[in-house]
Structure 1
Amino acid sequence: MSRTAEQTRTRRPVPPASGGRGRTTAVTVVVVALVVAHVVAVRETEFSLAALFEGREGMARFLSEAFPPDLSWSETVRPALEATGITLWIGLLGTTFSIPTSALLAVWGSRTTAPNAVVYQVSRAIMSFFRAVPDIVFALIFVTAVGLGPFAGVLALICHNTGVMGKLWSESIEEIDPGPSEALRTAGGSRAQIVANATFPQVSASLLGLLLYRFDVNVRSSLVLGLVGAGGIGLLINQSIKSFQFDAMLTQIIVVLVLVIVVDLFSAAVRRRLAL
């Protein structure tokens, strides 16, 4: 008998790995937890397809009153276009005016560029606060401060977008190559010089792409802010619903749809150019 055959006969069977059994148990626990969570959520939210089916007559009546849309120029279309322009400007200013604060918090809230641990933790806490408070809550606060109108919507978007965009930018900064920064630091460059000449040049395309993404989101958010008195097309839609002018509401929704498509196409075109 050969030596290889003897080794084969005397080799002990390898016991099954315990890691596989533990992984299966963990997956089972997660699946059971998700099922239980969905059962509780369905009960607590009173989710019912039967109720939706029973309300089909009301939905049909609503749609019959909305069609055809009201296309009268002076009473519906022109005010809708003007209000949509305000919605666009709210989203634009809410995005661009938050750039300085977002950039500052991103630099201070990144491990690679923060001056010290205290500044890092404080910056992360500020960004977390601005992200945690919804923009519509900020809008309600600023409406009580500056009154009804688009200015409250701009302030609300600046606050919320500062937290979101600062967080996204800080994560991009943390992924940069530390080599150029170390070279500048060794050469005696100040922290501001390192950030301006080594950090931002590496992430400029990524930061601009994220900025365009947030502009897209903020335009949509400014529509919702109008529902609480922050101006724009959302305010007109809310007024049309309250006055049961569903045909005018449908026209306003169509105008909003066109605006969203145009903004999407613009953002996608710019991002493609950045990727070239």
Structure 2
Amino acid sequence: MTLAPPRRRAPSKLAIAIALVVVTAHVLAWRATDISPSTLVSGWRGMADFLASSLPPDLSVLGAGLDAAVVTLYMGLLGTTLSIPSALALALLSSRATTPGSVTAQAARSVLSFLRSVPDVVFALIFVTAVGLGPFAGVLALVCHNTGVMGKLWAESMDESDRGPRDALRVAGASRAQVAVNAVLPTVLPSLAGLLLYRLDVNVRSSLVLGLVGAGGIGFLINQSIKLFRFDEMVTHILVVLVLVVAVDQLSSFVRRRLGV
């Protein structure tokens, strides 16, 4: 006895509507952003002139680039670690696992949303006016923005923790602080560590951009080279950035594998 092939279900009206919305959004985005492949093709000469002026790299600035790269790494490191206390406190206050349905939780979520919605570049511009040009402004900017992002990620990780230990402690009369310390944090600690390493990787990259607005590091040297039309120096600094990013990425991956996250 032969089985009849299964009948294909026709797409639902909702699926068709979603597809139309997505296609329409892409058409509008294509027009709004002035995408023109022909313009890119016709501009090959400008790209060729740029590459010709960039190569070979000027290795005489390699020492300065390496020193600035170390500063950039320090900015990313401090911007990540100094935000841990505030991010953890706001995550505990905003998580449904530790502070369910309270005004405090709503206020903490609002603070995280604000810190997350303001770009780190904007924070850097604000702090440059307060503390002047240099890496200190970049560190402060990363601390503020990273608190919002990491606090949100940590709160979501806590929300997904096992309810069993939490409910058992609540039934036994434990306080919210005791539930957080003895039931929530131990179960999500590997996840929090993995997210922390991920944010370290992101913050090192972000500190490069912050240098373009005067926050120091190798991003500042790249910006200087562009303004002086020393594209051969710029390429040298970019190569240093490439080595730095790959090194941080490999180190982060190694630590995550050892932690099993």
Contact 2:99/2:176, CA 8 A, preserved across alignment: no
Instruction: Map 1:179-194 to 2 at 5 A.
Output: 179-194=164-179
Taking structure 1 as the reference length, the TM-score comes to 0.88
Q: Which amino acid aligns with 2:72?
A: T
1:132 aligns with 2:117: yes
Is the radius of gyration larger for structure 1 or structure 2?
1
Amino acid in the other structure paired with 1:140: L
Q: Which one of 36, 46, 51 corresponds to residue 24 of structure 2?
A: 36
The alignment status of 1:55 with 2:55, answered yes or no, reads no
CA distance in 2 between counterparts of 1:116 and 1:35 reads 39
Counterparts of 1:114 and 1:194, CA distance in 2: 10
Paired letter, 1:239: Q
Counterpart check, 1:66 vs 2:54: yes
Deviations 1:23-42 (A, max 9, x none): 52112211222222112111
Shift of 1:211: 0.2
Please report how far the alpha carbon of residue 161 of structure 1 lies from its aligned counterpart in structure 2 after TM superposition. Answer: 0.5
CA distance in 1, matches of 2:16, 2:177: 51
Correspondence for 1:112: 97
The 5-angstrom pairing of residues 1-276 of structure 1 reads 24-72=12-60, 76-114=61-99, 116-275=101-260
Structure 1 segments unaligned to the other structure (5+ residues)? 1-15
SS at match of 2:59: coil
CA displacement 1:141-176 (0-9 Å, x = unmatched): 111111111111111111111111001000110111
Relative to the length of structure 2, the TM-score reads: 0.93
Aligned-partner Cα distance in 1 for 2:218–2:260 = 33
Deviations 1:46-77 (A, max 9, x none): 111111112111110110111111112xxx01
Q: What is the root-mean-square deviation in Å for CA atoms of aligned residues?
A: 1.5
- How far did 1:116 drift? 4.8
The answer as to whether partners of 2:161 and 2:187 remain within 8 angstroms in 1 is yes
Tell me if structure 1 keeps the 8 A contact 2:210–2:219: yes
The superposition leaves residues 81-103 of structure 1 with CA deviations (integer Å, 9 ceiling, x where unpaired) of 01101100110011001001110
Alpha-carbon distance between aligned partners in 2 of 1:180 and 1:41, rounded to the nearest angstrom: 48
Matches of 2:213 and 2:21, distance apart in 1:
37
**Contact (CA 8 Å) 2:158, 2:184: kept in 1 or not?**
yes
What is the rounded CA distance, in whole Å, between the counterparts of 2:57 and 2:131 in structure 1? 34
User: 1:187 offset after TM fit, Å?
Assistant: 3.6
Letter in 1 for 2:183: A
Q: Structure 2 CA distance, aligned partners of 1:190 and 1:32?
A: 51
Q: How many residues align?
A: 254
CA distance in 2, matches of 1:29, 1:195: 44
